Amino acid sequence: MFSFSRVGKTKSFYRDLGDARELSDHSFEENKNLKKFLRVKKMSTMDLRQALAGILTFSMFIMLGNMIKKDHFDSYYDVDIQATPVSKYENVAVTTQSLATVSHLSKSPWTKENGEGLKPCWNTPTFKEVEQSEGFITFSLTNGPEYHMSQIADALVVARYLGATLVLPDIKGSKPGYTMNLGDIYDVQEFLNSLDGLVRVTRTQPTLVSKGNPPLVRVPNRVTQDYIVKKVQPIYKAKGIVKIESYFPSVDPIIVGNKNKKLNSFACQGMFGTLKLKPEIKQVVESMVQNLQSWSQNNGEFIAVDLRSEVLEKECNIRYETGRKLCYQAQEIGEFLKKIGFSEDTAIYVTQTKWNPNLDSLKEIFPKTYTKENLMAEAMKGKFLNSEFEKVIDFYISSQSDIFVPSSPSLFYMNVAGVRIASGKNQILVPNEITSESASPFDFMSPYVSQKSHFAYSCFC
């Protein structure tokens, strides 16, 4: 074992060696003792050098560990969103601190990182700020609430810039030809109140629509002023009406946006200030949340995991081809949550509608794992299961949970994160492979939060 007392001895080594050279006339026995003495001195020096080398090597490993980037699936978005066209998202890579530096034994995984809800930074404008025209902008909501937020934001920005009247949207179902009214899911009066002063809104379809199909213009999500001027405005001036359809191109949704700050402000209000659930659906969601809280043994706290086995299996096969780990199955998520300190009595909500055998491995680790089928009152299942309401329920429970865990990068994850950031629910954990026994939830915080890279941070302050 290395001893600091040997340092003092080593300092006198060369002085001893000089004295030894003057002993050439000593007897053979004395010379033999001298050689023995020199060997001891040499061994002491080697011990010192080996110990110092060991310390330097250990330090280098620590530095290397801190430099390595964890391969979060957030670090690169290659997302196949089921819409037209296919969407791909890129995000900023996140570097985590060395897992060896933090022990989950020192902190509870439920330690609050959440804070108070943020306040909107946007100001409600007046109609005087834009010239009003006589035309209409119409659009439909599709694919679920994570899309609805973005579609309303785009429609609002276009209608506001053109001074057009916005036609109250309908909701296209997942089955061809199936259409719902906005009021079947959302509170229409709240929607109208939220747009007061931003744009004019009509509940009824204008004559221009009833006479035939209006011209369709596809606009990229987070549509810009330049795009409106070049692609939408000419058709609007010629026809007096335009139906817009949002698509999600291969761009970074965090960076791309309007240079026009006022239009960005309208996008903020469209995404976060317009859609409220109608009372009947809100009551169903709240009753399911209350069940989760009452069945939890962690002061009513629970985790929501966005994991749909049938969708994830397809997505994982596509993403494995890229050579990157971009999605996690049920067992992997269960092991991840266990390793960062969650106990087996943790209550977990999974967005899977009905129980799938693929979830068994998660339930073995966390017996209190539930789906909508477990949580919903029997009288409500006929209407709300196997219907357009499923995604709505998933979105709002995921937004209200104490901790949210996405199994893969998606628009669902991105917009749930936005709602949570706005409400101060910052506990969003991104799964990753863990090789250390001392991992902390704080090492896996979503970069949307840790780097404040989400669009929501430009809307709230």
* Per-residue 3-state assignment (H helix, E strand, C coil) for 395-412: HHHHHHCCEEEECCCCHH
- The tokens describing 123, both together, are 């100001």
- CA 132, 242, 148, 77 dihedral sign is negative
- Judge if the upstream peptide bond of residue 85 is cis by omega within 30 degrees of 0: yes
Is the domain of 353 the same as that of 306? yes
Question: What b/e readout covers 358-370, taking b as 16+ CB neighbours within 10 angstroms?
Answer: bbeebbebbebbb
| pLDDT class of 130 with cuts at 50, 70, 90 | low
Higher pLDDT, 9 or 272: 272
Of 272, 297, 331, the residue that ends a domain is 272
8 Å CB contact between 304 and 351: yes
* 61-70, 99-108, 150-159, 401-410: least confidently modelled range: 99-108
Torsion angle of C-alpha atoms 285, 296, 363, 311, degrees rounded to 10: 30
Task: Write down the pLDDT at residue 125.
Answer: 62
What pLDDT sits at residue 443?
A: 85
pLDDT of res. 299: 86
For residue 197, the enclosing domain spans 127-272
C-alpha to C-alpha distance for 386 and 354, rounded to whole angstroms: 9
Residue of 412, 378, 383 lying closest to 396 (CA atoms):
412
Using 50, 70 and 90 to split pLDDT, how confident is the model at 8? very low
Distances (CA, A) of 434 to 99, 326, 336, 431: 9, 15, 7, 9
Number of domains in the chain: 3
54 and 132 together in one domain: no
pLDDT confidence band for 241 (50 / 70 / 90): very high
Tell me, what DSSP letter sits at residue 168? P
> At a CB cut-off of 8 Å and minimum separation 6, what does 260 contact?
224, 225
* Angle, alpha carbons 171-172-178 (nearest 5°): 120
- 266, two tokens: 């309208």
36-73 tens-digit pLDDT: 444 544 444 445 455 555 544 444 444 444 433 344 56
Please say which residue of 223, 243, 272 terminates a domain: 272
> Is the Cβ–Cβ distance between 214 and 242 less than 8 Å?
yes
| Range scoring the smallest mean pLDDT among 12-21, 135-144, 336-345 | 12-21
Residues 385 and 387: their CA atoms lie apart, in Å, by: 5
CA distance 296 to 303: 10
Does residue 256 carry a pLDDT above 80?
Answer: no
pLDDT value at position 308? 85
Judge whether residue 99 has pLDDT over 50: no
Instruction: Judge whether residue 230 has pLDDT over 80.
Output: yes
- Burial zone of 164 (CB within 10 Å; 0-12 exposed, 13-18 middle, 19+ buried): buried
Residues 78 and 166 in one domain: no
Assess whether 42 and 84 both reside in one domain.
no
Same domain for 159 and 268, yes or no, is yes
pLDDT above 90 for 242: yes
> With 70 as the cut, is the pLDDT of residue 357 above it?
yes
- For residues 234 and 289, membership in a common domain is answered with no
**Confidence (pLDDT) at 264:** 84
DSSP class of residue 91 equals -
Q: Which of 262, 231, 225, 263 is nearest to 244 (CA)?
A: 231
Last residue of a domain, one of 238, 253, 272: 272
Distance CA 244, CA 231 (A): 11
Give the pLDDT score at 53: 53
Residue 229, pLDDT above cutoff 90: yes
The confidence score (pLDDT) of residue 207 equals 77
Share of the chain above pLDDT 70, in %: 67
CA dihedral sign of residues 88, 392, 325, 112: positive
Q: Are residues 236 and 376 in the same domain?
A: no
Residues recorded for the chain: 461
Average pLDDT value for residue range 125-138:
76
Q: Which comes out higher in pLDDT, residue 316 or 445?
A: 445
Same domain, yes or no, for 263 and 400? no
CA dihedral sign of residues 168, 174, 177, 180: negative
Q: Judge if 334 and 222 occupy the same domain.
A: no
Average pLDDT of the chain is 76
- What is the per-residue pLDDT for 117? 73
Same-domain pairing of 309 and 193: no
β 179-181/170-172 pair status: antiparallel
Same domain, 218 and 304: no
**Angle, CA of 377, 382 and 384, to the nearest 5°:** 75
CB 270 within 8 A of CB 152: yes
Q: Does one domain contain both 41 and 78?
A: no
- So what's the pLDDT on residue 113? 61
Neighbours of 433 (CB within 10 A): 12
